């Protein structure tokens, strides 16, 4: 099969012909028909995450070796089952839920596979969906998407469930309070498109790019703000009557989280999702004085994926703008994403 692989960190992906995997045990082989190109793939491609203060977390240090096939938003058709696999049949189309652990330890048993110390995520640990075929570890991770456009369904596995899980952490907000989403890129737009279905609050979207602010308004934001504007903090504090009660920072950069810390209301919660990287200075006294919480949210679990797909199939989630691109353009697609050319999401189709 053809796979589009990292062969050198940060260098263009290479089209390589490799052996099509054969499912063993409970594994299921999918012929990939849609595969989302995620912003986090850029970090994987570079080979490190920026932890701030010139500290880099290198993927080689956590066992990632090249060549490597990225792609964790995988959707495809079942073409073969391992000898112990059941629950799906050849010909079924499924989303491969990627955030899986060993399946056996304590956290995996209670459904928090995200916390497992032995993750088996396709596209970050195991071979992923930038290829013609992808191995799923077990049919329990294969999620139906009846009636949903394939390219949209594929993105639900990462940007969709990431946005949903972050929003759920602010479910307690009330209709007279404000929820602010920072960053209307791929994941941010997914969050904006489902915010009203999960959190009953007024929705403010902050982005430095006027085109993305326009996209946010079209996707359902009640108001938008340019957080790079020198008066933005003052204006937002005035228009919200003392700040926003919940923030989801889909950027995760010093400027965006800094903006959240300046505009959060007393008792508010900041959920950091974005992996842009860097570090912020946190005046510790603001934590007790503002009774503020800063928490992190990373993708979502399998239960949340099923909850999300129930909302999606019920038509309660506005699909993000998607640009399908043929699988063979994988290298160009991720390069274009890095160059900031994508509004919404690229999905590789085959």
Q: Min. distance of Cβ 108 from Zn ion in angstroms?
A: 3
Q: State in angstroms the smallest separation of the CB of 45 from Zn ion.
A: 12
Q: Is 102 in the site for Zn ion (CB under 5 A)?
A: yes
Alpha-carbon distance of 213 to 219, in angstroms, equals 10
For 232, counting Cβ atoms within 10 Å of its Cβ (0-12 exposed, 13-18 middle, 19+ buried), the class is: middle
163 lies in the binding site for Zn ion (CB under 5 A)? no
Contact between 44 and Zn ion by CB under 5 A: the answer reads: no
Residue with smaller CB distance to Zn ion, 53 or 340? 340
User: Is residue 101 involved in binding Zn ion (CB under 5 A)?
Assistant: yes
Q: Binding Zn ion by CB under 5 A: which of 105, 217, 255, 280?
A: 105
Looking at 40, 165, 240, 257, which residue binds Zn ion (CB under 5 A)?
40
Is residue 265 a contact residue for Zn ion (CB under 5 A)? no
Query: Which listed residue (30, 108, 143, 347) binds Zn ion by CB under 5 A?
Result: 108
CA pair distance 199, 311, nearest whole angstrom: 13
Site for Zn ion in 114-153 (CB under 5 A): 116
Closer CB to Zn ion, 152 or 178, in the complex = 152
Minimum separation from the CB atom of position 33 to Zn ion (A): 18
- Interacting span for Zn ion (CB under 5 A) from 105-113, 177-185, 216-224, 313-321: 105-113
Closest approach, Cβ 186 to Zn ion, in A, equals 9
Q: Which stretch binds Zn ion (CB under 5 A): 48-56, 155-163, 215-223, 254-262?
A: 155-163
The answer to whether residue 156 forms part of the interface with Zn ion (CB under 5 A) is no
Cβ proximity to Zn ion: between 187 and 204 the closer is: 187
CB of 327 to Zn ion, least distance (A): 17
Give me the least distance between CB of 157 and Zn ion, in Å please: 8
Considering only residues 32, 34, 37, 38, which one is a binding residue for Zn ion as defined by CB under 5 A? 38
Smallest separation, CB 98 to Zn ion (Å): 8
Judged by beta carbon, residue 178 or residue 345, the one nearer Zn ion is: 345
Q: Measured from the CB atom, is 161 or 173 closer to Zn ion?
A: 161
Distance between CA atoms of 341 and 303, rounded to whole angstroms?
A: 33
Of the two residues 164 and 259, which places its CB atom closer to Zn ion in the complex?
A: 164
If one counts every other C-beta atom within 10 angstroms of the C-beta of residue 60, the result is: 11
Interacting residues toward Zn ion by CB under 5 A? 38, 40, 101-102, 105, 108, 116, 158
């Amino acid at each position: 099969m053809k796979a589009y692989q990292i062969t050198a960190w940060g260098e263009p992906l290479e089209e390589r012909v490799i052996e099509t995997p054969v499912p063993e045990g409970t594994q299921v082989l999918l012929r990939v028909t849609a595969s989302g190109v995620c912003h986090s793939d850029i970090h994987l491609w570079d080979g490190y995450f920026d932890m701030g203060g010139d500290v880099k977390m290198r993927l080689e240090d956590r066992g990632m070796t090249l060549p490597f096939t990225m792609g964790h938003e995988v959707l495809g058709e079942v073409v073969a089952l391992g000898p112990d696999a059941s629950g799906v049949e050849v010909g079924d189309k499924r989303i491969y839920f990627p955030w899986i652990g060993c399946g056996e330890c304590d956290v995996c048993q209670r459904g928090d596979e995200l916390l497992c110390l032995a993750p088996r995520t396709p596209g970050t640990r195991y071979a992923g969906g930038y290829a013609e075929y992808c191995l799923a570890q077990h049919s329990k991770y294969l999620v139906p998407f009846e009636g949903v456009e394939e390219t949209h369904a594929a993105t639900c596995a990462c940007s969709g469930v990431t946005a949903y899980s972050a929003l759920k952490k602010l479910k307690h907000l009330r209709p007279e309070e404000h929820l602010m989403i920072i960053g209307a890129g791929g994941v941010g737009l997914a969050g904006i498109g489902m915010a009203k279905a999960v959190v009953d609050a007024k929705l403010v979207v902050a982005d430095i790019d006027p085109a993305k602010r326009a996209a946010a308004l079209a996707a359902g934001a009640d108001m938008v703000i340019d957080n790079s504007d020198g008066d933005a903090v003052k204006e937002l504090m005035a228009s919200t009557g003392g700040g926003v009660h919940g923030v989801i920072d889909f950027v995760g950069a010093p400027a965006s989280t800094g903006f959240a810390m300046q505009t959060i209301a007393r008792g508010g919660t900041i959920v950091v999702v974005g992996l842009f990287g860097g570090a912020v200075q946190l005046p510790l006294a603001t934590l007790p004085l503002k009774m503020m919480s800063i928490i992190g949210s990373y993708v979502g679990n399998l239960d949340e994926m099923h909850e999300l797909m129930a909302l999606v199939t019920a038509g309660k989630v506005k699909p993000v703008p998607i640009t399908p691109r043929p699988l063979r353009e994988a290298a160009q697609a991720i390069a274009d994403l890095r160059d900031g050319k994508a509004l919404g999401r690229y999905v590789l189709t085959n």
